[in-house]
């Protein structure tokens, strides 16, 4: 399917829908989303919210009816006008402040979480990259994205009755993906050769429209490639080190060549995490070919490179054995006019120089601006990487902090909540989302209105979870206990905690189970019960993570917990939305200081779902004493599990539960709603994608663009 094919299928009067369907702009504008939903809600759900698929499979009668329906056409005209004004319009923040720059910023990332209809993300890193592109689009920042498209996406999680996570692989049917193949000059699909491979490897290129921004995704699944090579981009984060190296060569070096083939000459290279860092080699190579020495070229390239590190956890960094590097790079050293050791030493980690080529160390050495993703993570990253700058004091290592943010128009519930914001904050709150004054208006929403909207979201969430549990009961004949563990006994009137994140030891999903008796008392209290919704995948190779999933699921099956623990399968971007809109309190208790930032709590807070979180990552900056609850601020040596669990139980018993259940005559818990409002007011502006994107522009991109 292409946009042209889809256009030709539509009645003349509503042909613009094809353009809209192929631009994710629709996904963060409520009225644009509405225009697809209202066409046929059943088809909309069946297509899994993919407008390309929906329009391609809708009956011609249905489309014709819409094209003749005056109410539909009024909406259509309005949406298309906005689309033209915002996607093609020139009145952007960036343009009005800084004018035009012919050379864009090239943003490289191994994953992008834009929407469930394009599953090329695994988790937080990808969602952040997606939110970043959307925020840049809103602001008119001239960015192009580069990444990979995976033929199997990330794994789908299905739990067995014994709680073991099965990783179900799904082959993506590309027919209706909201992406378009990039064509070469003669109209044939563009094919670009990636360096280093013998036999050669080629990539095809797909373009994704994200508002004003183009994202180019590469794919090795081509006839021209050997069978083994076709699978390079099969799966996100392959566990095999060689396959991983091959992916990263394609991502970084192939990516630079694709931009060259498209005649895009970037002014800045932004590496989102270490995976795409080989791009730097290819940029150096370009200059060496034009006559620079290796050192000159490396200096020039790094002067235009920005690197963002996302985790202090060692498993988040790729380290490739030198022997593996030699196998792929042996003849490239000469092309860079450098000797082997000069090149490979760029990737040695001062912490463990013999371990291999460390992508984070490499990216840190070869970039001009480097940043961590929260203030605390900045301190930690400077401490970890200080040995790279032996003549500086450790705390002066040149790694700055730009705290993550989330794309508010994507994460704030699009119908009733955004409508309330339109009314209370003024219709232009999206444009002014990073100004604290914008959010003062939250007080104009009556407590009872905010409360009831939120409770309705919870009812919807619980209904969705129950439908999923019902499907598995019906299809797989699970035991009653398993159906209950999947959420069949959830009750929307009960105080609901949400814990949804990757299942891996440092996130400590078991912390609440430290004192079983105390937890049971909390959950089964007759007057003031609590329920907990868990969700999250373990990486397919993370056995410890899979055991965590299993243990939580098995507890959820236990009658002692009275059906008040649910584990919802297959955490993804859509489920994340339902959860942050619908649970009452967002729980986070990782082992400090390992949470670099965390972003799901920001999404929750902006929807009026307060955080109950350990003081780590973004929450150290976000918590203000009135917008949620915090614990675990004191550094502790040794095992801190018991102390943290105790602090968590105390806050629940003494503060969260009383404020939730304390109802006034109007049956609204005003003190709890006060915390909800403070949560929106204090978190939305400071942790908005717009604030984040502006910081990257003003602190990093502009100094490079202006040669400062």
Site residues, ligand PLP (CB under 6 A): 123-124, 127, 501, 571-573, 576, 598-601, 603
Nearest to ligand PLP of 204, 598 (CB atom) = 598
Please report how close the Cβ of residue 603 comes to ligand PLP at its closest, in angstroms.
Answer: 6
241-249 and 322-329 helices cross at what angle (nearest 10)? 40
Nearest to ligand PLP of 356, 536 (CB atom) = 536
Please report how close the Cβ of residue 488 comes to ligand PLP at its closest, in angstroms.
Answer: 23
DSSP letters along 464-524, please? HHHHHHHHHHHHH---HHHHIIIIIT--TTSEEEEEES---GGG-TTGGGSSHHHHHHHHH
Nearest to ligand PLP of 414, 601 (CB atom) = 601
**Among the listed residues 40, 48, 20, the one whose alpha carbon sits nearest the alpha carbon of residue 32:** 20
Residue pair 73/39 in contact by the 8 Å Cβ criterion: no
Nearest to ligand PLP of 195, 598 (CB atom) = 598
Please report how close the Cβ of residue 549 comes to ligand PLP at its closest, in angstroms.
Answer: 15
CB atoms under 10 Å from CB of 640, counted, come to 18
**Among the listed residues 79, 47, 82, the one whose alpha carbon sits nearest the alpha carbon of residue 66:** 79
Where helices occur in 22-143 by DSSP H, the ranges are 30-37, 41-46, 51-57, 60-67, 70-83, 93-98, 124-139
Nearest to ligand PLP of 301, 648 (CB atom) = 648
**Among the listed residues 326, 321, 124, the one whose alpha carbon sits nearest the alpha carbon of residue 241:** 321
Taking phi first (over 0 means left), then psi (-120 to 50 degrees means alpha), and beta for anything else, what does residue 200 get? beta
Please report how close the Cβ of residue 106 comes to ligand PLP at its closest, in angstroms.
Answer: 24
Give me the phi and psi of 526, to 5 degrees please.
-65, -45
Nearest to ligand PLP of 370, 603 (CB atom) = 603
Nearest to ligand PLP of 573, 690 (CB atom) = 573
Please report how close the Cβ of residue 632 comes to ligand PLP at its closest, in angstroms.
Answer: 16
Please report how close the Cβ of residue 502 comes to ligand PLP at its closest, in angstroms.
Answer: 6
Please report how close the Cβ of residue 588 comes to ligand PLP at its closest, in angstroms.
Answer: 7
Nearest to ligand PLP of 195, 601 (CB atom) = 601
Which tokens go with 99?
């004018």
Residue pair 543/537 in contact by the 8 Å Cβ criterion: no
Nearest to ligand PLP of 401, 494 (CB atom) = 401
**Is the bond into 600 cis (omega within 30 degrees of 0)?**
no
Please report how close the Cβ of residue 573 comes to ligand PLP at its closest, in angstroms.
Answer: 5
Nearest to ligand PLP of 111, 678 (CB atom) = 111
Question: Based on C-alpha coordinates, what's the Rg of the chain?
Answer: 25
The per-residue b/e assignment along 86-110, b for 16 or more CB within 10 angstroms, e otherwise, is bbeeeebbbbeebeebeebbbbbbb
Q: Residue 325 and residue 308: Cα distance in Å, rounded? A: 23
Nearest to ligand PLP of 123, 593 (CB atom) = 123
Those residues with Cβ within 8 angstroms of residue 373's Cβ, 6 or more apart along the chain or in another chain: 128, 308, 309, 310, 401, 402, 403, 404, 596, 597
Please report how close the Cβ of residue 96 comes to ligand PLP at its closest, in angstroms.
Answer: 31
Residue pair 269/279 in contact by the 8 Å Cβ criterion: yes
Please report how close the Cβ of residue 125 comes to ligand PLP at its closest, in angstroms.
Answer: 8
Please report how close the Cβ of residue 574 comes to ligand PLP at its closest, in angstroms.
Answer: 8
Residue with tokens 């949400």: 498
């Amino acid at each position: 399917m292409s946009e042209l094919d889809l256009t030709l299928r539509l009645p003349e009067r509503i042909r613009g829908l094809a353009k809209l369907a192929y631009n994710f702009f629709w996904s963060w504008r409520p009225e644009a989303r509405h225009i697809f939903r209202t066409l046929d809600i059943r088809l909309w759900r069946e297509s899994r919210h993919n407008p390309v698929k929906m329009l391609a499979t809708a009956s011609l009668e249905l489309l014709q009816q819409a094209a003749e329906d005056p109410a539909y056409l009024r909406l259509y005209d309005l949406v298309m006008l906005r689309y033209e004004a915002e996607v093609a319009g020139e009145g952007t923040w960036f343009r009005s402040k800084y004018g035009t720059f012919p050379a864009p910023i090239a943003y490289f990332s191994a994953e992008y979480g834009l929407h469930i209809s394009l599953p090329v993300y695994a988790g937080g890193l990808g969602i952040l990259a997606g939110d970043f592109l959307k925020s840049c689009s809103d602001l008119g920042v001239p960015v192009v994205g580069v990444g990979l498209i995976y033929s199997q996406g990330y794994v789908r999680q299905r739990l067995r009755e014994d709680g073991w996570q099965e990783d179900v692989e799904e082959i993506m049917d590309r027919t209706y993906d909201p992406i378009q193949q990039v064509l070469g000059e003669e109209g044939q699909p563009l094919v670009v050769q990636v360096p280093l491979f013998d036999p050669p490897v080629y990539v095809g290129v797909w373009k994704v429209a994200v508002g004003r921004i183009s994202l180019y995704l590469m794919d090795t699944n081509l006839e021209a490639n050997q069978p083994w090579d076709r699978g390079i981009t099969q799966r996100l984060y392959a566990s095999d080190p060689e396959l991983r190296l091959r992916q990263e060569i394609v991502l970084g070096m192939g990516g630079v060549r694709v931009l060259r083939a498209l005649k895009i000459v970037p002014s800045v290279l932004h590496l989102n995490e270490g995976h795409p860092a080989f791009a730097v080699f290819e940029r150096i190579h370009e200059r060496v070919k034009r006559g620079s020495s290796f050192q000159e070229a490396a200096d020039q390239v790094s002067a235009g490179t920005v690197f963002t590190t996302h985790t202090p956890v060692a498993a988040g960094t790729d380290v490739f054995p030198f022997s593996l590097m030699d196998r792929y790079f042996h003849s490239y050293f000469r092309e860079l006019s450098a000797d082997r050791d000069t090149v490979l030493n760029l990737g040695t980690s001062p912490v463990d120089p013999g371990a291999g080529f460390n992508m984070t160390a490499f990216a840190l050495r070869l970039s001009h601006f480097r940043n961590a993703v929260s203030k605390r993570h900045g301190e930690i990253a400077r401490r970890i990487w200080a040995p790279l700058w032996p003549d500086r004091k450790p705390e002066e290592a040149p790694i700055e902090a730009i705290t993550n943010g989330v794309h508010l128009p994507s994460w704030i519930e699009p119908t009733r909540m955004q409508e309330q914001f339109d009314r209370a904050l003024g219709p232009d709150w999206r444009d002014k989302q990073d100004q604290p004054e914008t959010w003062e208006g939250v007080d104009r929403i009556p407590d009872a209105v905010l409360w009831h909207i939120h409770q309705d979201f919870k009812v919807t969430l619980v209904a969705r979870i129950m439908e999923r549990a019902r499907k598995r009961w019906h299809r797989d004949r699970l035991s009653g206990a398993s159906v209950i563990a999947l959420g069949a006994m959830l009750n929307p009137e009960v105080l609901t905690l949400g814990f949804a994140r990757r299942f891996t030891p440092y996130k400590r999903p078991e912390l609440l189970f430290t004192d079983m008796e105390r937890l049971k008392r909390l959950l089964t209290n007759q007057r003031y019960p609590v329920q907990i919704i868990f969700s999250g995948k373990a990486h397919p190779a993370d056995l410890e993570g899979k055991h965590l999933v299993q243990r939580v699921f098995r507890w959820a099956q236990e009658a002692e917990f009275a059906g008040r623990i649910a584990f919802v399968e297959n955490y993804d971007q859509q489920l994340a939305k339902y959860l942050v809109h619908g649970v009452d309190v967002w729980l986070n208790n990782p082992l400090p200081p390992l949470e670099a930032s965390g972003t799901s709590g920001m999404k929750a807070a902006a929807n009026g779902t307060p955080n109950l979180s350990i003081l780590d990552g973004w929450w150290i900056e976000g918590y203000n004493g009135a917008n949620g609850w915090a614990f675990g601020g004191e550094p502790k040596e040794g095992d801190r599990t018991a102390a943290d669990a105790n602090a968590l139980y105390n806050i629940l018993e003494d503060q969260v539960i009383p404020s939730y259940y304390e109802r006034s005559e109007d049956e609204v818990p005003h003190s709890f709603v006060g915390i909800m409002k403070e949560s929106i007011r204090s978190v939305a502006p400071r942790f908005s994608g717009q604030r984040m994107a502006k910081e990257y522009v003003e602190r990093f991109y502009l100094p490079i663009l202006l040669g400062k």
